[in-house]
Amino acid sequence: MSPPIDMNRFEQIRASGDLPSPKGVALSVIQLTRQQDVSIAELARVISGDPAFVGRLIKAANGLVALSRRPVVSVQEALMVLGLPAVRTMVLGFSLLSNYRHGACRNFDYNRFWSASLATALATQVFAERSRAAAADELFSVGLLSRVGELALATLYPGDYEGVLDAARQPGAPALPELEQAQFALSHHELTHAMLADWGLPRIFVDVVGHVEEPEAADYAEGARSRALLQTLVAGRCVAEICVSDESARPALMPQLFAEGGRLGFERDCLISDCERVVRLWVEWGALLQLDQKTPPSFAELAAMESAVIIPPPGQAAGETRNPPDANGAPEHVRLPLSSGHTPRVLIVDDEPRTRANLRGVLEQGGYEVYEAGNGRQGMEQALELQPQMMILDWNMPEMSGPDLVRALRQTRIGQTIYMILLTHRGDEEHLVEAFDAGADDFIAKPLRPRVLAARLRAGLRVVRLQQELEREHEEIRHFAAQLAVTNRRLQEAALTDALTGFPNRRYAIDRIQQEWTAAMRWGRPLACMIIDLDNFKQINDTYGHDVGDDVLRSAADALRGALRGQDVICRTGGDEFLAICPETDLPRALTCAERLRAALDRLSLSAGEVKLQISASIGVAMRESRMADVDALMKQADLGAYLAKQKGRNCVATVQRTEPGADGGAAAS
């Protein structure tokens, strides 16, 4: 269940008329899409009145089409790709962004809000392509609007909300929702939930958004669609937070992203590949929407940074988290690694300055890049920051002994690859065993002999280089796997698209109509389909050649695309045959729609040399009935309707099912 909402309070707020709401062309589009019989051509005409919406919708559509098909260049094509539900919420989101990018609440960062919302939208869309939780275009809109309650409070109560935001930043302050609840009797996530419900978003999306700030409180069953949706949106928010955070704070946010990706079942490399794609889209969209964005993150570089395990200082229990930020805002255990150079880095950790000086002389003479630390704790911090290839550690040091430092470093990813040599005054067997049990790679007894030390360093360097070569090979494999995953996705998209018309192909059509059949059965909703068979197409092909035949098919596809309703899906299932799937449509309405498609084709005229070719189609229509065993029975009825239309002289609409008296389409009673 979603969080409880004080609906009386929401009704009072809505009655004030100050809630963020769509305006102008966006409002017209939203009102128009509520009509069942609105055509794509009519929608395109209204949207074309706002050039900004045109560009944004076309870009959104091009983010979803297969790379093998031609780009979307018109509003009608964009509407066909996106579908009616996505267009409605997308236009709503873009309208709010255009009209509420500035405001009177001084503590509310409007630019950061929209940058984060955009990143959430894009990340949720990209992740949805992999998680299959919902249609990617719909989740773009959900992500864009998932924090709209914050914007609403800043718009409704700019002065009061400014104070609430200021109070939330104070040390030890209650959480922001608690402060909002105390001030306004409604928190921002409750207001988001109520606004999305009021705007008519599907209930499943509204409920999921209501839980996104506290996902652990949701009682969704494992494997449920709602749970997958929630996890997809939470992962999208993690990406957005990294995008809008300062560069120094980003590494600390990566563990949560990996955790959320793991809950979705994403492989680490695929997750990074998806995040890099999100960043590219975020930069492009940011320029289009004129947002002032931060320097985009490199998720590949951030993934290389691992959080380290720190030995707790005195007075802090093991496992207790106390990681105060450094001067740049990054937690103490997260540091940016130095770029890997050709000169090996060696860190000396010894509390005796004379020993450090002797070691430095030997190392610098050997061409090493040398760093020093005076005790074990300093050595730990510098090792995590510098990421040396090798370390030389004294056994007995204040605060942390050499073996303890080795053990602590071996618990971190960075420390696992460092070649460590322990120094001691004792060379007995007991010490030797203890050193290797702690995780040391080598052991040298004092006093130091420079030639022996140099030889052991050279031997260690060979091991380091082998490790680096192995890591490079692993990186190449990971990169190849990520590229392969992208290629597989592109091939899958191409396999579902008809290259000539740009419509989905037969394989997609069968899967989609089966999905709609299942939904119609579950919810008791009507479902209709049409078989559209072009008249005399074989004769055109045989007489004028396949080039003319291809032109006929492309022109017919464009005409059908323009006349189709926003909620319908049309696919090319054969040479001259198309299948239109009409969810939530009864037989009379389906016949009306079919007649509009027939008329659109009938108006077409193409030239083949000096000859004018007329294009027409015979369309069979059928609606799901309770007596039908499966989706094949529905398609068989539509096919019989098309055959009946051919018998009646072509260029007409027919059905073999019984219709109400006066229904359009030239129906024949069964």
H/E element, 645: helix 631-647
The strand pairing partners of 369, in sequence order, are 345
The amino acid occupying position 548 is V
pLDDT attached to residue 493 = 66
Buried b (16+ CB within 10 A) or exposed e, 19-30: bbbbeebbebbb
Total Cβ atoms within 10 A of residue 93? 24
| CATH 1.10.3210.10 boundaries in the chain | 104-303
Structural contact between residues 235 and 188, judged by C-beta atoms closer than 8 angstroms: no
Span 345-470 CATH architecture: 3-Layer(aba) Sandwich (3.40)
- Residue 501 sits at φ, ψ, to 5 deg, of -100, -20
pLDDT attached to residue 332 = 34
Nearest to 656 by CA among 648, 535, 642, 647: 642
pLDDT attached to residue 70 = 56
Write down the residue that tokens 């020993």 correspond to: 355
DSSP one-letter code for 331: B
Write down the residue that tokens 């740049």 correspond to: 328
Q: How far apart are CA 157 and CA 184, in angstroms?
A: 9
Burial (CB count <10 Å: 0-12, 13-18, 19+), residue 485: middle
| CATH 3.40.50.2300 boundaries in the chain | 345-470
The rounded radius of gyration (Å) of the Cα atoms in the chain is 33
Vertex 303: Cα angle to 302 and 304 (nearest 5): 90
pLDDT attached to residue 67 = 39
Q: Residues of the chain whose pLDDT is less than 70?
A: 1-18, 22-27, 30-38, 49-53, 63-75, 81, 83-86, 88, 135-137, 305-342, 427, 478-479, 482-483, 485-486, 489-490, 493, 659-670
Structural contact between residues 212 and 237, judged by C-beta atoms closer than 8 angstroms: yes
88 Cβ partners below 8 Å, 6+ apart?
Answer: 29, 30, 33, 200
Burial (CB count <10 Å: 0-12, 13-18, 19+), residue 579: buried
Q: Which long-range contacts (CB under 8 A, 24 or more apart) does 632-636 make?
A: 634/513, 634/517, 634/527, 634/529, 635/513, 635/529, 635/531, 635/579
The first and second tokens of residue 152, run together, are: 């609403």
319 Cβ partners below 8 Å, 6+ apart?
Answer: 312
* Residue 489 Cα to chain centre, angstroms: 14
DSSP one-letter code for 534: E
- Residue 504 sits at φ, ψ, to 5 deg, of -60, 155
Domain 104-303 of CATH type 3.40.50.150:
no
Q: Could you tell me the sign of the dihedral formed by the alpha carbons of 84, 87, 91, 93, in that order?
A: positive
Structural contact between residues 565 and 82, judged by C-beta atoms closer than 8 angstroms: no
Q: How far apart are CA 76 and CA 564, in angstroms?
A: 10
Q: DSSP letters along 208-258, please?
A: HHHHTTSGGG--PPTT-HHHHHHHHHHHHHHHHHHHHS-GGGSGGGHHHHH
The greatest distance separating any two alpha carbons of the chain, rounded to the nearest whole angstrom, comes to: 108
Cα→Cα distances 665→38, 587, 593, Å = 18, 10, 9
Residues in the chain: 670
Give the start-end residues of each E strand in 28-158.
none
Q: How far apart are CA 222 and CA 232, in angstroms?
A: 14
Q: How far apart are CA 187 and CA 199, in angstroms?
A: 18
- Fold assignment, 506-654: Alpha-Beta Plaits (3.30.70)
- Residue 77 sits at φ, ψ, to 5 deg, of -65, -40
Nearest to 191 by CA among 5, 409, 381, 382: 5
H/E element, 469: helix 450-495
Structural contact between residues 311 and 380, judged by C-beta atoms closer than 8 angstroms: yes
Structural contact between residues 146 and 117, judged by C-beta atoms closer than 8 angstroms: yes
The strand pairing partners of 463, in sequence order, are none
Give the start-end residues of each E strand in 470-593.
527-534, 569-572, 577-583
DSSP one-letter code for 34: T
Q: How far apart are CA 44 and CA 76, in angstroms?
A: 6
Q: How far apart are CA 122 and CA 140, in angstroms?
A: 6
The strand pairing partners of 383, in sequence order, are none
The first and second tokens of residue 617, run together, are: 């189609």
Structural contact between residues 620 and 595, judged by C-beta atoms closer than 8 angstroms: no
pLDDT attached to residue 316 = 41
Q: How far apart are CA 670 and CA 668, in angstroms?
A: 6
Q: How far apart are CA 386 and CA 574, in angstroms?
A: 63
The amino acid occupying position 474 is H
Structural contact between residues 44 and 79, judged by C-beta atoms closer than 8 angstroms: yes
- Bond before 3 cis per omega within 30 degrees: no
Total Cβ atoms within 10 A of residue 626? 6
Total Cβ atoms within 10 A of residue 527? 25
Q: How far apart are CA 288 and CA 144, in angstroms?
A: 15
| CATH 3.30.70.270 boundaries in the chain | 506-654
Burial (CB count <10 Å: 0-12, 13-18, 19+), residue 163: middle
State the pTM of this model.
0.48
